[in-house]
Amino acid sequence: MQKTEEIQNQKYSFLAKFFHWGFVFLFGYGIFKQVDDIEQLENISLLKFEILFASIFLFFLILRFFYMKKTQTTSLPAKTPKQQKFAAKLVHYSMYICLASICISGLMIGLFFWLGLKSGILIEFIISLHENSISIIYWLIAIHIFAALYHRVRNDGVWNSMVPIWKEKK
């Protein structure tokens, strides 16, 4: 049984860890440099940078999703309850959806602004979608961090599979 558990709790690949922690920094940077007022997009250099950043972020998000889906398996122990496995998948897929929604809505805001559609119900809807997606991702990140800490306390190998510090004792 112990051997099966060790195989189940194998570490993620270097690329999987790079994608995970790279997104932490990319997202943090995106929040740090965020546009506070849509009128800032009048600056064409800023608008181009925002479009480039969102495009790169979305590209790597899609790449990461397919890489993780095709090459990696869960590090949850085999004996993990089905409800917990379902919750983990729900949070992870929701994070992908929210991050994609943030990028796509941001790109749409930039496009509409560039086209001169700076007001109206459509742009207001897209801005609302963008803002709500950001609010939701904060909650999902909090749940994700809480779950990681939960597994760290449980000492079940999940923490060690992705986090490079504060290793669990075997």
pLDDT in tens, 154-167: 999 999 999 888 88
Provide, rounded to the nearest whole percent, the portion of the chain with pLDDT above 90.
79
Residue 136, domain member (yes or no): yes
pLDDT tens figures, 5-55: 444 446 799 999 999 999 999 999 999 998 888 889 989 999 999 999 999
Residue 42, domain member (yes or no): yes
Residue 94, domain member (yes or no): no
Residue 85, domain member (yes or no): no
Q: What does DSSP assign to residue 42?
A: G
Residue 127, domain member (yes or no): yes
Host domain of residue 35: 14-70+104-170
Residue 115, domain member (yes or no): yes
Helices 82-114 + 121-154 axis angle, to 10: 150
- For the chain, how many residues are written? 170
Domain count, the chain: 1
**Tokens matching residue 167:** 């290793």
Residue 99, domain member (yes or no): no
Determine the Cα–Cα distance for residues 129 and 106; give it in Å rounded to an integer. 9
Residue 64, domain member (yes or no): yes
Radius of gyration for the chain, computed over Cα atoms and rounded to the nearest angstrom: 19
**Tokens matching residue 57:** 């972020």
pTM for this entry: 0.88
Determine the Cα–Cα distance for residues 94 and 21; give it in Å rounded to an integer. 18
**Tokens matching residue 6:** 């060790």
Alpha carbon distances (Å) from 40 to 35, 50, 60, 131: 7, 11, 26, 16
Amino acid 92 reads H
Provide, rounded to the nearest whole percent, the portion of the chain with pLDDT above 70.
94
